[in-house]
Amino acid sequence: MLPLFYVDNFHVEPITAGLLAGIYPVINLIARPAGGWLSDKIGRKITLIIATAGVSITFLGLGQFTTDWPLWLFVTGTIIGGLFSQSGSGAVFAMVPLIQRRMTGQIAGMTGAFGNIGGVLFLIVLSIVAPSTFFLAIGATGLLIFILITLVLKEPKGQIAEIMPDGTVHMIDISKQNPN
């Protein structure tokens, strides 16, 4: 979506548009692990609150786009939005082993699959509305998720029990680590 957006709205060459849009997935290499690391350090709920607030603010801002905006400002906005959204993904995946440790692979697979469903739904929205409305839809969805996380998500504390194959019970500490 981004390369076509850059070509249509900023009239850049397709190769330049592709390179600029390519920044977004590269951010994933840094931001997703950073979100997981941060959630281990300060807590999953607070990391997700920060990430969804950042997504909401950034994409609601990008929804105000006009053709008068300079290209660098829009690219900066997508980079900031990418940092927040990808770090939020890392924080979500950091929660996966806390659900049921012996099923981590299955739950991680389902988490990734539902993330892909969300991506497809947003592409459907993009095919129906103007790009500025699309960015507003992402921001509004982020705001809704922010509210749900704030009100509903409980930060796991203490320990969880894992039943080993031999029937013994192993207690696993899940509280956030000391920031030493």
Q: What is the pLDDT of residue 31?
A: 96
Per-residue pLDDT tens digits for 61-95: 999 998 899 999 999 999 999 999 999 999 998 88
Distance from C-alpha of 112 to C-alpha of 110, rounded to nearest angstrom: 5
Two tokens, residue 84? 């927040």
Neighbours of 32 (CB within 10 A): 19
In this structure, what are the phi and psi dihedrals at residue 175, rounded to the nearest 5 degrees? -65, 155
Rounded mean pLDDT, 2-14: 91
pLDDT at residue 101 greater than cutoff 80: no
Is the four-CA dihedral 18, 21, 25, 26 of positive or negative sign?
positive
Q: What is the pLDDT of residue 176?
A: 54
Q: What is the pTM of this model?
A: 0.83
CATH 3.40.50.10160 fits 2-173, yes or no: no
Q: Considering the chain, what percentage of its residues have pLDDT values greater than 90?
A: 57
Distance from C-alpha of 177 to C-alpha of 63, rounded to nearest angstrom: 38
In this structure, what are the phi and psi dihedrals at residue 144, rounded to the nearest 5 degrees? -60, -45
Pairing of strands 169-173, 159-163: antiparallel
Q: What is the pLDDT of residue 159?
A: 75
Output the DSSP codes for 139-161: HHHHHHHHHHHHHH-----SEEE
Confidence of residue 180 (pLDDT cuts 50, 70, 90): very low
Per-residue pLDDT tens digits for 117-154: 988 999 899 999 998 899 999 999 999 999 999 999 88
Beta strands in the chain (DSSP E): 159-163, 169-173
Which SS3 state, helix, strand or coil, does residue 116 take? Answer: helix
